[in-house]
């Protein structure tokens, strides 16, 4: 235990040598401190942003987003050039989507993955070509399927046998052909939180590659879906899809899933005398939320996956399908920080085990730092036990480190923004805190709990900030209340 460390802190959390330092993996390029110690982004100080837009506020670097998107496209195209001529990179819109982001994605040569009619509407408003869109979801409505066909989507990722039949019937009734990929569960369990591990069998997504289906003895649900898809005149079967989870750092799971799907795709093409020209290996690449997280560069991910695909196709004696991937968090997550204003503070004393037999437990202080947002703008800590970091952003400080818990203003004891972080002991009401790594699944999961208005999102580029999503007002909240007389 280093000096000033607390026995209440988790084992991975070290006391920073410099509380004013901005650790590089956590922040977007262009985020730094100015001569006064204030956090800036592309030269704009957080106090300027607060004065113009208020808090809480999502602050995004447009240039960093574009750079990360381009890095994935360039790295995967280079790694797969000799295998299948490059890779189709679909940005996972569920992580964060608005019309500006959809436009940036298109500008940088990426495609866009959507999961609902609403996300399709955003893509349409942004002018994304239908051929560059995909539609996911385990329970697509007839309206969403029709919308996908109206927009001439590049692919619909089918999640079940029931849905495959429904897509085929709707397409047939329109005299059209639906381009389909089949989402399979390869049984590869990513080392991640149970609620975001999506390749094991006992969950709602995908067609199982294991066991017998209920229809044809000896066929898995995955093979039954391939057989059915080939029998529908209104279905063009492009290939297979899988997604093994989220916030994954090690390549082993991706490699195993790729091998299983390539072998299955090869077997199905031989058995049913078909060609499936595409294979989507999903996303789930991790980012740094805390100093101990070790994300891999896009080029390293690409080279590792290319090596597996290259060797597996060689072993199987097959031509490699066109590969696609779906990064979301890995592109947008670190581009953004959330800016909060500190309100009340309190310190409590908490028992900690001494570890010595016969010796009484000792109490240690934990400080609660309340901010003007919370679980309504970041639900991930309460949903997934997600860890974050934070810094004092409005000024530098030479005060000692104090173990703190950053909490929101909601009427929930689980309303925690950052569970454990060392902040300067002199943090006070009116200070600004910045929480990095909030670009993915924070605004997307935001709510109006306790009738808090959802924050705005500003994009900063070349020293200028502009709203790309307007923050809500109380009037916005009341406009949907049909008991309120409009005067």
Which residues are part of the catalytic machinery? Answer: 411
Parallel/antiparallel/unpaired status of strands 464-469 and 456-461: antiparallel
Token pair, residue 199, equals: 């390749």
- Hey, is 378 helix, strand or coil? coil
256: exposed, middle or buried (Cβ count in 10 Å: 0-12, 13-18, 19+): middle
Q: How far apart are CA 28 and CA 13, in angstroms?
A: 22
**Beta bridge partners of residue 87, listed in sequence order:** 323
All residues at 6 or more sequence positions from 289 whose CB lies less than 8 Å from its CB, including other chains: 26, 386, 387, 388, 389, 436, 437
First to last CA, the chain: 63
Q: How far apart are CA 46 and CA 393, in angstroms?
A: 7
| φ, ψ for residue 363, nearest 5 deg | -95, 145
Parallel/antiparallel/unpaired status of strands 416-424 and 401-407: antiparallel
**Beta bridge partners of residue 142, listed in sequence order:** none
Q: How far apart are CA 387 and CA 112, in angstroms?
A: 28
| φ, ψ for residue 374, nearest 5 deg | 140, -140
Q: How far apart are CA 95 and CA 60, in angstroms?
A: 14
Q: How far apart are CA 190 and CA 370, in angstroms?
A: 34
Q: How far apart are CA 340 and CA 374, in angstroms?
A: 9
Q: How far apart are CA 185 and CA 13, in angstroms?
A: 35
Q: How far apart are CA 125 and CA 150, in angstroms?
A: 14
- Hey, is 467 helix, strand or coil? strand
- Contact of 297 with 63, CB cutoff 8 Å: no
Q: How far apart are CA 97 and CA 457, in angstroms?
A: 11
């Amino acid at each position: 235990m280093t000096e000033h460390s607390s026995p209440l802190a988790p084992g991975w959390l070290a006391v920073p040598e410099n509380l004013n330092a901005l650790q590089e993996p956590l922040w977007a390029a262009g985020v730094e401190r100015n001569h006064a110690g204030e956090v800036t982004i592309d030269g704009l100080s957080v106090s300027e942003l607060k004065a113009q837009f208020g808090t809480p506020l999502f602050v995004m670097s447009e240039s960093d987003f574009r750079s990360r998107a381009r890095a994935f496209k360039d790295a995967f195209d280079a790694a797969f050039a000799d295998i299948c001529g490059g890779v189709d990179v679909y940005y996972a819109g569920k992580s964060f989507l608005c019309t500006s982001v959809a436009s940036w994605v298109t500008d940088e040569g990426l495609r866009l993955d959507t999961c609902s009619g609403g996300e399709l509407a955003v893509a349409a408003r942004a002018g994304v070509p239908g051929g560059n869109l995909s539609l996911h979801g385990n329970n697509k409505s007839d309206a969403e399927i029709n919308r996908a066909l109206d927009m001439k989507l590049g692919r619909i990722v089918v999640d079940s046998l029931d849905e495959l039949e429904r897509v085929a019937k709707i397409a047939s009734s329109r005299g059209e052909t639906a381009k389909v990929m089949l989402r399979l569960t390869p049984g590869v369990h990513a080392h991640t939180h149970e609620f975001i591990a999506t390749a094991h069998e006992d969950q709602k997504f995908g067609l199982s590659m294991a066991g017998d289906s209920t229809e044809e003895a000896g066929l898995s649900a995955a093979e039954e879906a391939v057989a059915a898809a080939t029998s529908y005149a209104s279905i063009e079967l492009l290939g297979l899809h899988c997604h093994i989870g989220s916030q994954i750092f090690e390549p082993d799971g991706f490699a195993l899933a790729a091998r299983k799907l390539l072998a299955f795709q090869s077997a199905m093409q031989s058995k049913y005398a078909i060609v499936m020209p595409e294979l989507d290996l999903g996303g789930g690449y991790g980012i740094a939320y805390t100093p101990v997280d070790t994300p891999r560069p896009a080029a390293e991910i690409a080279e590792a996956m290319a090596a597996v695909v290259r060797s597996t196709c060689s072993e199987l004696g097959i031509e490699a399908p066109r590969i696609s991937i779906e990064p979301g968090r890995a592109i947008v997550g670190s581009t953004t920080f959330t800016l909060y204003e500190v309100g009340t503070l309190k310190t409590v004393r908490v028992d900690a085990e001494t570890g010595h037999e016969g010796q009484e437990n000792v109490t240690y202080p934990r400080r609660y730092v309340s901010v003007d947002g919370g679980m309504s703008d970041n639900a991930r800590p309460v949903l997934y036990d997600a860890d974050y970091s934070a810094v004092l952003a409005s000024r530098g400080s030479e005060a000692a480190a104090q173990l703190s818990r950053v909490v929101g203003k909601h009427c929930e004891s689980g309303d925690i923004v950052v569970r454990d972080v060392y902040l300067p002991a002199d943090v006070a009401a009116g200070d600004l805190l910045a929480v990095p790594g909030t670009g993915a699944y924070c605004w997307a999961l935001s709510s109006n709990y306790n009738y808090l208005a959802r924050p705005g999102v500003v994009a900063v580029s070349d020293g200028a900030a502009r709203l790309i999503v307007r923050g809500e007002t109380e009037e916005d909240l009341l406009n949907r209340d049909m008991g309120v007389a409009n005067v």
